[in-house]
Amino acid sequence: MQVEVSPTGESRVRLDVTVTPEEVDRAIEATYRKLAQRVRVPGFRPGKAPRNLVLRAYGDDAFFHQATNEAVRAWYPTALRQSGVEALDSGEIDLPDDHGHLTPGEPFAFAATVPTKPDVHLPAIEDIKIPAPPVVVADVDVDRVLEEVRRSRATLEPAAARAAETGDVVKMNIHGRADGEEVLSQEDFQFELVDEQDSPDRQFPGLSKELVNARPGDIRETVLSLPPDYGQQELAGKSLSLRIVVKEIQRKVLPDLNDDFARTVSDTTTVQELRELIRRNLERERREEAFNKVASEVIDSLTARTNLVAPDILVEAELDSMLRDQRRYFERQGMRFEQFLIAARKSEEEYRQDLRPNAERLVKRDLILEAVADAEDIHADPDEVNSQMQRFTENLSRSERDMERLSASTALRGSIEEELRKRDAIRWLVQSVSGLTVPEDEADEPVSDAGVEPAAAETA
């Protein structure tokens, strides 16, 4: 078999395949053997009838038509592998208009048009310089986190003879209606008033502002506009009418900032050690923020300089992945994705088109990172691949046989290897253009694993 590859533009190549007479004869023989077992010729057992009788019973044209189709389907994957072309899908096979059928003892030719990843012509990376943002943690930043940790451990006491303020907790009877039906009725409900400019309330957006200056005995009526992605899917995108009877105003009493407090919220033993832990956490977060900022800028710069066009087939695959992730997100929130679409007044296709620009950006990013990994000979560490595969399979609830099959999956291993290559490529890029690195022991460590218990870790 001979295969010639020629580009046709728009991330496609043409394969011109010529098959030898010997391969043609073997293909015809293979089709004959299969047919001989199926075609019934009077007086002969299956598979024992002479070839001329089998062909007469089946029909010469039908036989060679079937032989041609079966042979081309078998030859095409071989031609693709021989060409070295990385196809994005199965492509389209083109047979000449006058090709006829396979002819014993003669060569046969066919062609295929195959979509491929576009060639990425990287600019000189050394010409790109992006200053790394400074990583600075001031004492006031540590003080702010300490205050938030203390507030998360506060106790409540009555706030006598004054109106409600931001930070207070209001005890109230609350009743809510949506679309004329009662959807909420709760006695002695406790609600903390927050500054929604800093931390929006997901349960009752806008209610804190309505309850500032409230006093025991007040009756407040208000209407809240709930967002399309509201946690209760049956209320998403609707107006919620509330009637509130204020019963008590409670203020938060913060615990003293001492060594006992430090031991309560972390593995540290003194306030000074707690401050140092919080500072390290903040420094790590800001290093990661700086790294991500440079990473985004260098990818944007390379995208602009390479003039990449994202192949539609990759964009569609990315859109499929994004929509699957969206469905999983809403399921975790106890919602249905279809309910979100109704609230957003969009069809799935309209929402898909809204996502398209981001999908194109992600495809271009991946193409660039793959090109960088190829250019710099970046490969995934086999030990890390094995570790990632083990971590992945441990998080799944599957049978032992399924786990063994998954662990041996070349597709899973290849996917993990590619993700690690892209991760290391972005690290190389960021270091090359800014000098900024992410310490290996910090790169993948969750903030909440740094020593502060959950109530503190969320703020630290």
Mean pLDDT by 10 residues, the chain (460 residues): 87 91 93 80 72 79 88 92 86 72 90 89 93 94 94 90 92 94 93 87 91 95 90 84 96 94 94 96 93 94 90 93 91 83 86 94 95 94 87 65 60 87 94 83 40 35
| CB 425 within 8 Å of CB 372 | yes
| Residue tagged 């786990």 (tokens) | 403
C-alpha 153/C-alpha 266 separation (Å) is 13
> What is the four-CA torsion angle of 267, 271, 274, 278, rounded to 10 degrees?
160
- Residue pair 204/231 in contact (Cβ under 8 Å)? The answer is no
Instruction: Give the CA radius of gyration of the chain.
Output: 33
Place of tokens 């949506």: 178
- Strand segments, DSSP code E, in 201-324 are 219-225, 239-253
Question: Look-up: residue for tokens 């898909």?
Answer: 352
Between β-strands 239-253 and 169-178, what pairing exists: parallel, antiparallel or unpaired? antiparallel
Query: Is the CB of residue 203 less than 8 Å from the CB of residue 240?
Result: no
Helices and strands in the chain: count of H runs, count of E runs: 15, 9
Distance CA 380, CA 434 (A): 23
Q: CA of 339: how far to CAs of 44, 159, 205, 330, 349, in Å?
A: 65, 42, 20, 9, 15
User: DSSP 3-state assignment of 158?
Assistant: strand
As a whole number of angstroms, the distance between CA 451 and CA 267 comes to 6
> Residue 373 in contact with residue 117, Cβ under 8 Å?
no
**SS3 label, residue 231:** coil
Contacts of 57 (CB under 8 A, 6+ apart): 39, 40, 41, 49
DSSP H or E run through 428: helix 410-434
Q: How far apart are CA 93 and CA 106, in angstroms?
A: 20
**Do residues 453 and 268 touch, judged by C-beta distance below 8 A?**
no
**For residues 337 and 334, what is the distance between their CA atoms, to the nearest angstrom?**
10
Asked if residues 249 and 167 have their Cβ atoms less than 8 Å apart, the reply is: no
| Amino acid, res. 356 | R
Per-residue pLDDT, 448: 30
Residue that is written with structure tokens 């790169």 in the block: 443
Q: What is the pLDDT, as a whole number, of residue 456?
A: 33
**pLDDT at position 458:** 35
Q: Which of 34, 115, 32, 16 is nearest to 75 (CA)?
A: 16
Where does residue 207 rank: exposed (0-12), middle (13-18), buried (19+ CB within 10 A)? buried
User: Is the separation of the CB atoms in 149 and 264 below 8 Å?
Assistant: no
Strand partners, 452: 266
- Nearest Cα to Cα of residue 134 among 435, 424, 443: 435
Q: What domains appear along the chain, each with residue ranges and CATH number?
A: 2-115 (3.30.70.1050), 155-253 (3.10.50.40), 260-457 (1.10.3120)
Q: Which two tokens stand for residue 193?
A: 């008033």
Q: Are 154 and 252 in contact (CB under 8 A)?
A: yes
Q: According to the model, what pLDDT value does residue 63 have?
A: 86
Q: Which of 412, 442, 77, 180 is nearest to 291 (CA)?
A: 442
